[in-house]
Amino acid sequence: MLDVRRLKVLREVAGRGSFSAAAEALSFTQSAVSQQVAALEREAGAKLLDRGPRGVRLTDAGRALVEHADVILARIEDAEQELAAIAGLRGGRVRVATFQSAGATLVPRALGEFHRRYPDVELTVMLEEHDARGLFARGEADLAILMDFVHTPLMAPELDLVPLLDDPYAVVLPEEHPLADREAIGIGELACERFVMHHYGMGCREGIVHACRGAGFDPTVAIECDENEQLQAFVAAGLGVAVYPRLALAPQHPKVAVVPLADDVLMRRVWVATMAEGYRSPATEAMLTILIDVAAEFTASEIEAVA
């Protein structure tokens, strides 16, 4: 295999026409330059330079090799510049996977702030609630926003989990519902209500069902849907009530009332995850920091304000 450093020496000798001039330009001794060229000739299996009283000139093999060296060294220089740009957050990319409600609140704020600071870094967002681990395993994501509950914690030793916030649940009611003016509602008070819920397989539903069963009843599901706005619209139409995390209630439908659950009986934890043993680029590290800062702004009062 040809040594790139020796290609650089050959190019310098060819361009300056002598070993002594190349040595001076490279801050080498003339002997070192000669040795480098001799080693390169052995690697190439061909004579590269003709040495004469008026200096040196390239052989046909040497001329061909220098032409390739120009291309190779230019690409290496480009690569070095690109790596320096990535390290300095003047290039590169960050790919963020998220679940729906974080993707409508936390993530836009974080990406907006990131873009203001580092406008040359490419940003990608993927709405993915079920296969974040698969995205990591396939090298398709750099960070993922995940959620869990205390009773069903994420078991992911391959991931490094950083807490972002605790997201309390509230009851979503039609605005004329008898409980709409309450300051808080116990989940057991909803035992006779019809529920609007996400389909099974979406994390919120499992947490709600667990809380209802803890209060001694199985919820009666009237309508299943996938979209946060759609869920509120069904409640506003009087088709049922919903129990939903505050982060998912932005914006709030004008025809619903949102009342906190009593005693924080249901709370989900929101995390940002990266691969525990994986490489984190400077851009990924910067995004991680910004996500933590943005999540800190979502105090309990602020979450209520967006609901």
Q: Which residue has tokens 């979502």?
A: 298
The CA R_g of the chain, rounded to the nearest whole Å, is 31
- Six-digit token pair at 26? 């490279």
pLDDT at 306 (0 to 100): 42
Domain spans of the chain, in order of start: 4-87, 93-160+274-306, 166-267
Cα torsion 260, 269, 197, 180 to 10°: value is 10
Q: Quick: pLDDT tens for 132-177.
A: 777 877 778 899 999 888 888 888 888 899 999 999 899 999 999 9
CATH superfamily, region 93-160+274-306: Periplasmic binding protein-like II (3.40.190.10)
Answer for the pair 168, 258: CB distance below 8 angstroms, yes or no.
no
Which is it for the CA torsion 97, 98, 103, 106, positive or negative?
Answer: negative
CA distance 167 to 300: 8
State what percent of residues in the chain have pLDDT above 70: 92
CA distance 42 to 6: 11
Q: Quick: pLDDT tens for 74-111.
A: 777 767 666 766 777 777 889 999 988 898 889 999 99
pLDDT at 238 (0 to 100): 95
pLDDT at 125 (0 to 100): 93
Host H or E run for residue 263: none
Task: Assess whether pLDDT exceeds 70 at residue 307.
Answer: no
Domains 93-160+274-306 and 166-267 share a fold: yes
Q: Quick: pLDDT tens for 20-45.
A: 888 888 888 888 888 888 888 888 88
What is residue 144's three-state secondary structure? strand
Domain 166-267, classified CATH 3.40.190.10, yes or no: yes
Q: Give 185's DSSP letter.
A: B
pLDDT at 220 (0 to 100): 96
Task: Assess whether pLDDT exceeds 60 at residue 197.
Answer: yes
pLDDT at 81 (0 to 100): 63
Q: Which whole-number Å values give the CA distances from 70 to 26, 33, 67, 136, 215, in the listed order?
A: 17, 18, 5, 38, 75
CA distance 290 to 296: 10
Please, what is the average pLDDT of the chain? 86
Domain 4-87, classified CATH 1.20.20.10, yes or no: no
pLDDT at 271 (0 to 100): 94
CA distance 195 to 240: 5
N-terminal to C-terminal alpha carbon distance within the chain? 64
Please indicate whether residue 251 or residue 112 has the higher confidence score (pLDDT). Answer: 112
Please indicate whether residue 33 or residue 202 has the higher confidence score (pLDDT). Answer: 33
pLDDT band at residue 130, thresholds of 50, 70 and 90? low
